[in-house]
Structure 1
Amino acid sequence: MERELGCDVLVIGGGVAGLTTAVVLAEGGVRVRLWTRDPVEGTTSAVAGGLWWPYRVEPVESARAWALRSLDVYEELAERPDTTGARMAEGVLGETALDDVGAWAAARLPGLRPATAGEYPGGSGVWARLPLIDMPAHLPYLRERFLAAGGVVEARTAADLAGTGAPVVVNCTGLGARELVPDPSVRPVRGQLVIVENPGVRTWTVSTGADGAPAYVLPQPGRLVLGGTAEEDAWSTEPDPAVADAIVRRCTALRPEIAGLRVLDHRVGLRPARDAVRLERAVLPDGTVLIHNYGHGGGGVTVAWGCAEEAAKLATG
């Protein structure tokens, strides 16, 4: 039943989880408002590297199902990369053998094969063709798609999940859920990136070296995204010059052709980690139906569409 807010569902959170959920709902004929504290360009999602692959997201079986559904959508969106920011790109998952990938992905990604020594000199790797999402382009695309479906976006911060004036609220606040719910089990995993010019690199590389430090090179339009870090419970969003230098060294060891490239920017994002994604329905004391959709860790882009469709069913079922 509609309340005074003038919508059927209120989505809180303007990152990839919130926007995708809002799109699914609005395109399904639901009247939706979206509240976002930050413009889409200022969300954690805007900092994401954008490679489709489950990373630091639990539970594993659910995450794989959500990821496969999202893969279907990204493959479709990749037919219009200039509009959607999504494209299919080839690259290497380092320190990975073909048997490590698992049947869940192998059955859906028939092009998987062992990487050659020329493609990945550092050791064992798997060559794959995966969605690579340019998040600074994809997030505005989602926003415009939501608006075109009749949605309304408001720059507004939610102080409470109850009393919003909406009969149904979908909580996609990511790390903000720590205070808003409150849910102290949501914690930051800090990721730092270095953005450099792209001399013509077209393939991506992801690696975890012998020291366990992640390294990845992701080609995006007009730039290369170099990463990264995964610092547990680190809250600083200020780039650390020493960390940036280490990222560049690790990535140069992976891809020597990027040595000496001009640095364009430094970015930091705080992944909203949780022991398991919280995707569930509850009813608040005031009668508000509350759907939680947060805690996606480093896999928000990867599972976005699968989670959005499940959240939409909970919101309208």
Structure 2
Amino acid sequence: MTPSQQQESRRNFMKKLGAAGIMMSVGLPSFAYDPVLDTHSLPTGLNPVKVSANRLIRKVVGLRPYRPSGFNLDVQKLDEKTIIHNYGHGGGGISLSWGTASLAIDKIELSSKDPVAVLGAGVIGLSTAILLLKQGRPVTIYTNKLPPSTTSNVAAAFWAPVSVYEADKVDTGFMNDFNQASKISQRMFQDLVGSRYGVWWIKTYFLGGNFDFPGGKSLYPDYKHYNEESSPFSGYMETEEVHSLMIEPPIYLKALLDDFYQLGGKLIIRRFNRKSELTQLKESVIMNCTGLGANELFEDKTLIPVKGQLAVLLPQEEIQYGYVYPSYNDLLYMFPRKDGIILGGTSEKNIWTSNTDETEINRILKGHQRIAAGLKP
């Protein structure tokens, strides 16, 4: 791709919705660094990913709950019940989980001794329930799915609250909540770094540049910028390097569920088909963390799925970095985890089926082969 084609691709991409949870943010305020650029030495020790079909161990499809107007933290009355919503995080569910849980809990007006119901046992529901339990509140989760069968389990889970909203659909109030939730959540994840929760810091490259630092530049330490000559990746006029947190969903969600039980939480397997059924619950406060389920249960038709596909390769211990190529027509990202090398990805709005598209899987594999082949020695 020529330099002019790269620039045009990035411009087209920035006009579109981001991908399923790991792309650059769309429309977020840009935080500029002092322009001391292209002065960094070439990074060393970047081993290539071994991309081949015979190393493929699974294909993953996830439907992210997306609202153009961003996540919903509204308070709703239902007869004598108070419902506090916390859903619609798009690609930023895991990244924002502790932050929006904190903001939602702040809306509770009852005393700390009153029981609370939480709907949903994905990352938003578990985070909300744990914070409530730490306040001393009795908590019961009602859910029809448990980890590892939740949408949260199939996220790539690189910490960056991206693909959360459309810039022209949000106001200053939402942006204040978004930035506050980002800061709260990132700080809490720092305290969870280690093997028990499967959280660690990772160096990540944005091929072509244009990373927008969602939530604020202070959340991405040790920023570096490379020109085409100094970049470890061939063929890109700009490359940006940031540090952020990587979360392993299979480890992380199991640890959260363990914490929930150890703190005294109760869990009931139950599916609610109509909103009116919630009036039967004994709890007077209900935290709605149903994700995409809110489309039907609470008739929020602005909530739509964004389908994302991943190809997962055998793990490679020597891969200690990630990258994102944020092209609208050829989105690619790679993150190493202990359960495999995560290769993405796709972004398909308002697609409700979770069928694997083999054409897209082949595109993903070929694209990452190209990037691996272009890694400078």
Q: Tell me, yes or no, whether TM beats 0.5.
A: yes
Alignment partner, residue 105 of structure 2 = none
Question: For residues 359 and 183 of structure 2, what CA distance do their matches in structure 1 show?
Answer: 37
Matched, 1:107 2:218: yes
Letter in 1 for 2:205: V
- Letter of the structure 1 residue corresponding to residue 302 of structure 2: S
2:367 alignment partner in structure 1: 250
The letter for the 2-side match of 1:193 is L
Indicate if the aligned counterparts of 2:231 and 2:238 stay in contact, CA closer than 8 A.
Answer: no
Provide TM-score, normalisation by structure 2: 0.62
Q: Which amino acid aligns with 2:124?
A: A
Where does the alignment leave 5 or more consecutive residues of structure 2 unmatched?
Answer: 1-79, 82-112, 166-173
> SS state of the match for residue 54, structure 1?
coil
Whether the aligned pair in 1 keeps the contact of 2:213 and 2:220 (CA below 8 Å) is: no
| Separation of aligned partners in 2, 1:153 and 1:90 | 37
CA positional deviation for 1:105: 2.7
* 1:113-192 map, 5 Å: 113-115=224-226, 117-121=230-234, 122-159=236-273, 160=275, 161-192=278-309
Give the alignment of 1:38-117 within 5 angstroms. 38-58=145-165, 59-78=174-193, 80=194, 82-97=195-210, 100-101=212-213, 105-115=216-226, 117=230
Structure 1 residue matching 2:329: 3-state secondary structure: coil
The secondary structure found in structure 2 opposite 1:40 is coil
* 63-72 or 174-183, which deviates more: 63-72
Secondary structure of 2:191's match? helix
Between 1:33-42 and 1:105-114, the stretch displaced more is 105-114
Aligned residues: 250
Letter in 2 for 1:124: E
Residues 162 and 249 (structure 1), Cα distance of their counterparts in 2 relative to 1, 3 Å cut: farther
Identify the structure with the greater strand proportion: 1
Measure how far apart 1:28 and its partner are: 1.2
Distance 1:119 1:61 in 2: 36
Is the alpha carbon distance of 1:119 and 1:153 closer, same or farther for their aligned partners in structure 2, counting shifts above 3 Å? farther
Secondary structure class of the residue paired with 1:83: coil
2:319 corresponding residue in structure 1: 201
Preserved CA contact (<8 Å) 1:14 1:43: yes
Aligned 1:272-283 pairs, distance under 5 A: none
- Alpha-carbon offset, residue 257 of structure 1: 8.6
Write the letter of the residue equivalent to 1:112: Y
Identical columns (%): 25
d(CA) in 1 for partners of 2:360, 2:313: 15
What is the SS of the residue equivalent to 2:280?
coil
Hey, what does 2:96 align to over in structure 1?
A: none
Q: Which amino acid in 2 is paired with 1:234?
A: I
Q: CA deviation at 1:170?
A: 0.5
Is the aligned partner of 1:234 residue 2:345? no
Query: What is the CA–CA distance in structure 2 between the aligned matches of 1:146 and 1:15, rounded to whole Å?
Result: 12
CA distance in 2, matches of 1:224, 1:217: 7
What is the TM-score normalised by the length of structure 1? 0.73
Letter in 2 for 1:90: K
Distance across 1 between alignment mates of 2:217 and 2:116:
37
Given the superposition, is the C-alpha separation of residues 32 and 236 from structure 1 closer, same or farther in structure 2, using an over 3 Å criterion? same
Distance in 1 (alpha carbons) for counterparts of 2:233 and 2:308:
24
Distance in 2, matches of 1:257 and 1:158, equals 51
* 2:207–2:324 Cα contact (<8 Å) kept: yes
Q: How many angstroms does 1:243 deviate by?
A: 1.2
1-side partners of 2:160 and 2:362: how far apart?
26
Deviations 1:106-151, CA, capped at 9 Å, x for gaps = 2343311114644333332221110100011111111111111110
Which runs of 5 or more structure 1 residues have no equivalent in the other structure?
A: 259-317
Of 116, 125, 134, the match for 1:9: 116
Q: Does 1:24 align with 2:24?
A: no
Alpha-carbon offset, residue 239 of structure 1: 1.1
- 1:36–1:155 Cα contact (<8 Å) kept: yes
- What does residue 312 of structure 1 align with? none
Shift of 1:241: 1.1
Which residue identity lines up with residue 188 of structure 2 in the other structure? V
Q: Give me the CA root mean square deviation.
A: 2.4
Q: Which residue number corresponds to residue 337 of structure 2?
A: 220
Q: 1:62 and 1:250 mapped to 2: Cα distance?
A: 36
